[in-house]
Amino acid sequence: MSGKVAFVTLATNDTYSLGCLVLGNSLRRVNTSAELVVMVTTGVSNSMRTQLAQVFNVIQEVNVLDSNDPINLSLLGRPDLNVTFTKLHCWRLTQYDKAVFLDADTLVLQNVDELFDREELSAAPDAGWPDCFNSGVFVYKPSLETYQSLLQCATSQGSFDGGDQGLLNMFYNTWSTDDISKHLPFTYNVVSQAFYSYLPAFTQFKDRVKIVHFIGAVKPWHHTYDTNTNTVTPLPGTGHSQEFLQVWWNIFMQTVQPSLDPSLAEELTMNLFSKQSPIETEQSEAKHEAKYDVHVPYSETIHTVFPFKPPKVDEVFYNVVDNDDEKSESGDAKTEPEETIVTMTVMPRSYSELESHYSEEPLSHVNPEEPPVGTYSAPWITEGWEKASKEPSTCPPEYKTVSEIVETNIETGKPDPEDLSPGTKENISIEPTATNESELEKVGLVGELASMTIQTQQVGPGESLSDAQRKLNWERGQIDYLGQDSFENIQKKIDATMSSESSVPVSTSNPFTPSTDTTAAVVKPKQPEVTTAKKETKVSSGISISLSSTKK
């Protein structure tokens, strides 16, 4: 590496700044010898800039309309391309001979200083369309001339995806064919969901991963982190690797969170948790905006990032405790409570949708006096469940109670809503289920595995919650591919099933746990009569909740 070089990233608000802080720390951890630059816009608060300055050598304020040239003027008519153009400012950092741009949602696991030996424009293939490069990691040469040409291209042609990636792929349109040395190995920009699309490769090459990229609407800071266990639980349906997320959170909790400006955190806390009327909240947000000249999406940030007054553990969205009956039957008051596990899949389809749910009204049920420990959870899930279970009549439409969903959405085999209210022992599963004999025959072995469901997910005295959590994760599609649910173990089960030649009923332990695990719940392929309901509701906000229930 010769000349002056830098890693460059970008944040337009305080939330993405958190990503920059973790990224910057991850680069320091692997002892990079390059300088670190973060480009910020007016959306980044002063207090956040102070913290960024502890990690980055240069904090470069950028503004798309600040250079007063004719091209910039023509951008006035294209506000949609603003964020796109903000990234292009990295070409203006001409104090460096070579630079590597890294998205704020990337994480460096190994030293990558060798990237500075590459030429512009070097990048890794995009997982979605490998003839395009992903613009979250690229090597480039700062140059005002290139910057102007990029703006020119943008204003004349636009961007085919509305973002910088489309634009850059149009500008560097020979990348896929011209020069293989400009193709960075995928290990320099591994999408965090890679283990889903090609598990054997992920298993084989995981240790070579140098840079992880958390693409998509859900970012590392949105996930659920538990300060008791120091573990992160990926949000349902995002497909992010738990392992990579854990690294992100470890860095965050160790190096970023302890020095976040308390006044910023305090304001965030106040806004989210005090019992303010919407008007008061608006006023205090206005105050905050006046102070920092920025709107921080408070509720989005706080639940996963700030350890203040989280929901109580027994309010966490998927655990519903009701052990009254069991207690009186067993006569042992000290018996661990039995729990019914309810699984809901709530998938925001876009970033703005996600954001709108994080901006729901404050979690008024949270006691501000509670100590800052416990489980963090996405507020729209927690609050939804909390409201659904306690005051069904006041629920906003997207937070229907389970029994309401049953009443309004069941097409066949309507069960007694009582069975689905909190405290029942029936499991509500998100698994697709075969509903009649012929369908069951058609689905075959894979189908049978897919339609297996844990009959009763009671958490008894002999079974720890983490076992239950693991099963829950499995149901949510967050399979522990590298651990208990490894391909090897699944294969063992498949082999066992094949050799026994029996179809239904198969009485066996959970196929996704080693056969020696005797504590696993009994699992068998679902038979027609056990499926009593499958219901799906699409609510106005676009959140899709799909539930099906199983009865013994």
Binding residues for Mn ion, per CB under 5 A?
103, 105, 136
Q: How far is the CB of 448 from ligand UPG (least distance, A)?
A: 36
Of 6, 7, 12, 459, the one binding ligand UPG (CB under 6 A) is 12
Query: 307 or 348: whose CB is closer to ligand UPG?
Result: 348
User: Cα separation of 413 and 128, whole Å?
Assistant: 40
User: Cα separation of 456 and 341, whole Å?
Assistant: 9
Tokens of 539: 């609510």
Q: Indicate which of ligand UPG, Mn ion, none lies near residue 165 (CB less than 5 to 8 Å, by partner kind).
A: ligand UPG
User: Cα separation of 105 and 213, whole Å?
Assistant: 6
Of 35, 120, 163, 404, the one binding ligand UPG (CB under 6 A) is 163
**Phi, psi of 72, deg, nearest 5:** -60, -35
Interaction between residue 354 and ligand UPG (CB under 6 A): no
Within 40-69, which residues bind ligand UPG (CB under 6 A)?
none
**Phi, psi of 228, deg, nearest 5:** -75, -45
Query: 125 or 236: whose CB is closer to ligand UPG?
Result: 125
Within 248-307, which residues bind ligand UPG (CB under 6 A)?
none
CB hemisphere CA count around 156 (13 angstroms):
9
Of 16, 244, 252, 298, the one binding ligand UPG (CB under 6 A) is 16
Interaction between residue 136 and ligand UPG (CB under 6 A): yes
Q: Which of 147, 148, 128, 144 is nearest to 136 (CA)?
A: 128
User: Cα separation of 360 and 16, whole Å?
Assistant: 20
Interaction between residue 11 and ligand UPG (CB under 6 A): yes
Interaction between residue 140 and ligand UPG (CB under 6 A): no
Query: 158 or 423: whose CB is closer to ligand UPG?
Result: 158
Of 165, 340, 510, 532, the one binding ligand UPG (CB under 6 A) is 165
Interaction between residue 216 and ligand UPG (CB under 6 A): yes
- Alpha-carbon distances of 211 from 208, 219, 455, rounded to whole Å: 9, 15, 41
Interaction between residue 81 and ligand UPG (CB under 6 A): no
Interaction between residue 215 and ligand UPG (CB under 6 A): yes
Q: Can you give 440-505 as a three-state secondary structure string?
A: HHHHHHHHHHHHCEECCCCCCCCCCHHHHHHHHHHHCCCCCCCCCCCHHHHHHHHHHHHHHCCCCC
Q: How far is the CB of 209 from Mn ion (least distance, A)?
A: 16
Q: How far is the CB of 164 from ligand UPG (least distance, A)?
A: 5
Query: 165 or 301: whose CB is closer to ligand UPG?
Result: 165
Q: How far is the CB of 221 from ligand UPG (least distance, A)?
A: 12
Q: Do the Cβ atoms of 413 and 339 come closer than 8 Å?
A: no
Query: 194 or 341: whose CB is closer to ligand UPG?
Result: 194
Of 104, 124, 363, 410, the one binding ligand UPG (CB under 6 A) is 104
Q: Where are the beta strands (DSSP E) in 26-117?
A: 35-40, 58-61, 98-102, 106-108
- DSSP for residue 523: E
Tokens of 51: 């913290």
Tokens of 9: 């990233």
Q: Indicate which of ligand UPG, Mn ion, none lies near residue 235 (CB less than 5 to 8 Å, by partner kind).
A: none
Pairing of strands 190-191, 211-213: parallel
Query: Is 95 in a helix, a strand, or coil?
Result: coil
User: Cα separation of 196 and 192, whole Å?
Assistant: 9
Interaction between residue 103 and ligand UPG (CB under 6 A): yes
Number of neighbours of residue 261 by Cβ within 10 angstroms: 14
Of 58, 83, 253, 465, the one binding ligand UPG (CB under 6 A) is 83
**Phi, psi of 499, deg, nearest 5:** -70, -30
Query: Is 524 in a helix, a strand, or coil?
Result: strand
Q: Indicate which of ligand UPG, Mn ion, none lies near residue 163 (CB less than 5 to 8 Å, by partner kind).
A: ligand UPG
User: Cα separation of 2 and 99, whole Å?
Assistant: 11
Interaction between residue 467 and ligand UPG (CB under 6 A): no
Q: How far is the CB of 487 from ligand UPG (least distance, A)?
A: 28
* Nearest residue (beta carbon) to ligand UPG: 163
Q: Which H or E run includes 82?
A: helix 82-88
Tokens of 92: 């203006």
Of 14, 164, 315, 448, the one binding ligand UPG (CB under 6 A) is 164
Q: How far is the CB of 240 from ligand UPG (least distance, A)?
A: 12
Pairing of strands 428-429, 544-550: antiparallel
Query: 61 or 314: whose CB is closer to ligand UPG?
Result: 61
List residues near ligand UPG by CB under 6 A.
9-13, 16, 83, 87, 103-105, 134-136, 161, 163-165, 215-216
